[in-house]
Chains A and B, each alone.
Chain A
Amino acid sequence: MIRFLLLCWVMLLPAALPAAVETFEFSSDELRERYQVLVEKLRCPKCQNQNLAGSDSPISADLRREVFLLLEEGQSDQQIIDFLVARYGTFILYDPPKEGTTRWVWLIPGVFLLLGIGLVVMVLRSASRRPVPEAVEGDDYE
């Protein structure tokens, strides 16, 4: 059984490998680390559900290169993110700012939770207030 599970795990491994293969010559390890973080959290505009690190599409390759160049230029992470948002919109962020429509996506579940709690409380209250004889009255055996 364990061997079977191990086999499954090994077979799934290639899928987990990042698809991006270019090697950039970073001037420092710090830049390389920041690059890795950025391409992990930026989304490929073409493929919808992959990050830049995991996408093989030409546009992702271009954007990775741009991130590399901007890092080497000495731009901060925020500057690079702003640069890309100005061109591709907040879509390229996997964690978009909670404003506009996005804010509602976060608020609505909370609203529904409160409504649900309110409903449960109301039902419980009215059930406990109901006089007991009423229930007995219902079961009338002939």
Chain B
Amino acid sequence: MKKQILLFVPLLMFAALSVFFFEALKLRETRSNSELTSALIDRPFPEFALPGLDNRMHTRDDLVGEVRLVNVWGSWCPSCRDEHPFLEELTRRGVSIVGLNYKDTPDAAIQWLQVFGDIYDFHIQDQSGRLGLDLGVYGAPETFLIDRMGVIRYKRVGVVNEAIWEEQIKPRYLAFGGLLNTPEAP
């Protein structure tokens, strides 16, 4: 009798492995394989002193005081073009977005904004990519959610769209006291 029970051990092990692999599969679906979790979540936004596209200097102090998105973009980045209309929609809903112009030239950036529309509250010019390095940026677009104290609360690698906003960013944005224009839905 005991021996018969033992016969089920391989089956149980197989079942355990199946569950494990199935969970791993689900993980891949929700989190794309190329996306790394930021080491900077819940850490303060790094200090910086960089010019905007109007050449006025900006520092970290300009970021704090409001729950915002910091969008890392470049005129060389095709996906940034794809996400731009949705970012524009977000500003219409009352979200403040600061543009971090990453590894770009001011001329190309200004030209890009003239074509696609300047939706940003202000710009930070990171030509060398040094601030990007402090932020753990490894591509564009990347979008950071920062709270009123200037602490990074969420990071999105890749395009921000309606689904990402609704599922990932909006709950956090509201939880940290971010404001939206009245009725978002019809």
Majority-rule SS of A interface residues: helix
Interface residues on B, range: 20 to 34
Majority-rule SS of B interface residues: loop
Asked whether any CB of chain B lies closer than 8 Å to the CB of A87, the reply is yes
CB distance from A97 to the nearest CB of B (A): 13
Chain A binder among B36-44, B108-116, B117-125, B176-184: B36-44
From known contacts A58-B103, A59-B138, infer whether A87 and B6 are also in contact, taking CB-CB under 8 Å: no
Contact B39–A87 (Cβ < 8 Å): yes
Asked whether any CB of chain B lies closer than 8 Å to the CB of A85, the reply is yes
Contact B34–A87 (Cβ < 8 Å): no
Contact B136–A88 (Cβ < 8 Å): yes
Of A48, A58, A89, A115, the residue contacting B136 (CB under 8 A) is A89
- Interface residue total, chain A, C-beta cutoff 8 A: 19
Chain A interface residues toward B at CB < 8 A: 45-46, 48, 58-59, 62-63, 66, 85-91, 115, 119, 122, 126
Q: Contacts A88-B136, A89-B36, A90-B39 given; 18 further ones with Cβ under 8 A? A: A46-B138, A46-B139, A58-B129, A59-B129, A62-B133, A63-B133, A66-B133, A85-B39, A86-B39, A87-B39, A87-B133, A87-B135, A88-B36, A88-B138, A89-B37, A89-B39, A89-B136, A122-B6
